Structure 1
Amino acid sequence: MENRNIEDKRHLRSLNTRKKLLEAAREVFLQEGFQKATISQMINKAGIGYGTAYVHFGGKEDLLIVLLEDVMERFFDIAEVSFLPKSKQEAMEIINKQAYAFLKMAEAERDMMQVFEQAIGVSSLVSDKWKTIREKFIGRISTDIAYSQQNGLARSELNHEIVARGWYFTNEMYLWEIVRNEHHGSVEEVATTITSVYVTGLYL
């Protein structure tokens, strides 16, 4: 039992160290940007030893990837919303709500997303991670389209995987425009417009 308690305390301390380091990394990335940020700055800010830090993360890219996964998990929660429409109108309402929530999240997370965009441009590790996340979204959209096709709501002659990629990339393009503050019109207007074009082309 004594050993178990020691193990539990170690595990807790380890989780605490990891959390401290991630919080420090987030602050340093936001302050310095991806390229200028160093793991030394993060370790100093977290107030932990170098050896301890490297037990948890191999470098700043590893830290950024965990932060990226955390943020994108919240985006994915939007994609995971139950999609069982009974009509074209109902499908449009759900899709519009999802597109709006997705783009609104980009606006809310703008500062951190700017750091992710820098990292995707210069780090193959982060870029590969982004591609993996992207495929997860496309897979989910593809399932929703297939459901609509099987239920006679959407055009069955269209390849649902290709359509899914098109819809995802439309959203991603606007996501980055919002992150860069280059979007035209409000987030609501963008979501409504792209949803209307997408649903009109796909649904019967």
Structure 2
Amino acid sequence: MDKKGVETSDKRHLRSMITREKILKSAKEVFLEEGFQKATISQMIKKAGVGYGTAYVHFEGKDDILIVLMEDVMAKFYEIAETPFSPRSKEEANDIIENQAYSFLKLAEKERDIMCVLEQAIGVSPEAANKWKETREKFIQRILKDIHYSHENGLTRAGLNFELVARGWFFVNEMYLWEIVRGEQRAPVEEIAEAITSVYTAGLYKGV
């Protein structure tokens, strides 16, 4: 391909990316205004100012669009899970984990509107439900990695099934995440994070 052909291809790709982002932005606005079930692909296309054919080049439908939006939000949550973890004591581990739990739940508070849409979708869309299951497993495996680090450094109690511990810790955080999204939590995020971390680390780590 000559230079002119490359430039044309680059411009076409750039226009395609701009159109895709325009659709995503408009779709998010529609989801927030209408909720998942009432939102339609027609509303999104109209708001974005693109044709049906153009929209379906990028997405298969509103479920597909929501999953892309979901991935963007989950990336923010997963960044918290990727916090460097190399504690040398139970106290140090507790501090890191409590900060992670606080940041995780605080982000749920910040992203409450789109997370409300996501919760609606998980209940009615098999695609969204499966994506959430995949996301959950990714978090659990990351927690398990941190637990194994602690175990290899002699910080954990003996005789525990670490996979069950990792799953339990995620499910506790997940429960409070959805309570915060619904505005149902009974205490400030700081207090929730401190309480659940204290229980978790007391059960997992040696009392030294």
TM-score bracket, normalised by the shorter chain, equals: over 0.9
* Letter in structure 2 aligned against 1:201: G
Question: Structure 1 residue runs of 4+, over 4 Å off?
Answer: none
Deviation at 1:160, TM superposition (A): 1.3
Number of the residue aligned with 2:107: 105
Q: Where do 1:100-139 residues align within 5 Å?
A: 100-139=102-141
1:53-72 aligned within 5 A: 53-72=55-74
Instruction: From 46, 50, 53, give the equivalent of 1:51.
Output: 53
SS at match of 1:36: coil
2:90 to 88, 94, 105: 88
Distance 2:158 2:137 in 1: 22
Match of 2:6 in 1: 4
Compute the RMSD of aligned alpha carbons.
0.5
Q: Matches of 2:171 and 2:118 in 1, distance apart?
A: 17
Aligned amino acid, residue 152 of structure 1: G
Distance 1:150 1:160 in 2: 12
**Correspondence 1:147 to 2:146:** no
Cα distance in 2 between the residues matched to 1:177 and 1:51 = 39
State how far apart, in whole Å, the 1-side matches of 2:158 and 2:13 are: 52
Residue 155 of structure 1: how far off its partner (Å): 1.5
CA contact (8 A) 1:95 1:195 kept: yes
Match of 2:32 in 1: 30
Q: 3-state SS of the aligned residue for 1:154?
A: coil
Instruction: Indicate the percent of aligned positions where both proteins have the same amino acid.
Output: 65
Normalization by structure 2: what TM-score? 0.97
Map 1:161-172 to 2 at 5 A: 161-172=163-174
3-state secondary structure, aligned to 2:104:
helix
- 1:79 aligned residue: 81
For residues 195 and 23 of structure 2, the distance between their equivalents in structure 1, rounded to whole angstroms, comes to: 41
Question: How many Å separate the matches in 1 of 2:158 and 2:25?
Answer: 47
For 1:42, the aligned partner's letter is: M
Query: Aligned partners of 1:141 and 1:12: how far apart in 2?
Result: 38
Letter in 1 for 2:5: N
Distance 1:123 1:191 in 2: 30
CA apart distance, 1:156: 3.5
1:59-118 C-alpha deviation (Å, 9 max, x unpaired):
000000000000010000000000000000000000000000000000000011000000
- Which SS does the other structure have where 1:35 is aligned? coil
Q: How many residues align?
A: 204
Corresponding residue number in structure 2 for 1:157: 159
- State the shift of 1:54 in Å: 0.2
What 5-or-longer segments of structure 2 have no aligned partner?
Answer: none
- Counterpart contact for 1:154–1:203, Cα < 8 Å: yes
